[in-house]
Amino acid sequence: MGAIKISRRQFVKLAGTASGSLLLPSGSARAAEGRLRLPLHKAIGEAPSICPFCGVGCGLIVAAQGNRVVNIEGDPDHPINQGSLCSKGMSTAQLNTVDGKINPRRLQTVKYRARGSNRWEVKSWDWAMDEIAKRVKATRDQHFIEKDAEGRTVNRLEAIASLGGAALDNEECSLISKAMRSLGLVYFEHQARI
């Protein structure tokens, strides 16, 4: 019979289940009492994610309760970091939660400051998307270069640049590249490479 393959994460889960059942008192009343003291089903959801800080792209396990992140640790099954995180990755939870409360510095709405204005206005996402599309089109219409100084067809746009982030995955990078190249962009960078 072949050996049973088990991942480190599955092993930890099984070990937790086994030790949990050893800790529970026997008998339904005592078990119920034990459950009150040792809740077996926490209202905490765990989800895999990727550290947003640099191009290494370490895997995270994010535990959230409602809209609060209560814990983030390295994903032991992730092939890049295998459970480890640097100090920046370990502090990722603070992007969402500080001292048990939603980080007050976290922006949750679109903020817009008009040209020449000294105050921020709250806008909707629909408004922001329309505004971005309008400005991209106007800039492209005004600055698109069909031919260079020697008369060669270049079809490029030098008035807009695109800057990606380390949290983007391969598929997102592929889609963004295609969208930007289709506009004619040539200034195209990634935050983790700068």
**Interacting residue ranges for ligand SF4, rule: CB under 6 A:** 51, 53-54, 56-58, 81, 85-86, 88-89
- From the CB of 192, what's the least distance to ligand SF4, in Å? 8
- From the CB of 75, what's the least distance to ligand SF4, in Å? 11
Contacts of 140 (CB under 8 A, 6+ apart): 157, 159, 160, 183, 184
49 or 103: CB nearest ligand SF4 = 49
86 or 160: CB nearest ligand SF4 = 86
Residue 81, CA atoms < 13 Å, CB-side half-sphere: 21
56 or 145: CB nearest ligand SF4 = 56
56 by DSSP, 3-state: which? coil
- From the CB of 51, what's the least distance to ligand SF4, in Å? 3
- By beta carbon distance, the residue nearest ligand SF4 is 89
Strand ranges (E), 86-129: 97-98, 101-102, 110-112, 121-123
- From the CB of 83, what's the least distance to ligand SF4, in Å? 11
58 or 93: CB nearest ligand SF4 = 58
With beta carbons less than 8 A apart as the criterion, state whether 30 and 62 touch.
no
12 or 80: CB nearest ligand SF4 = 80
- From the CB of 48, what's the least distance to ligand SF4, in Å? 14
Tokens 């800080």 sit at which residue?
Answer: 53
Closest residue by Cα to residue 52 from 91, 18, 8, 108: 91
Strand-by-strand arrangement of the 153-164 sheet: 145-147, 153-164, 185-190
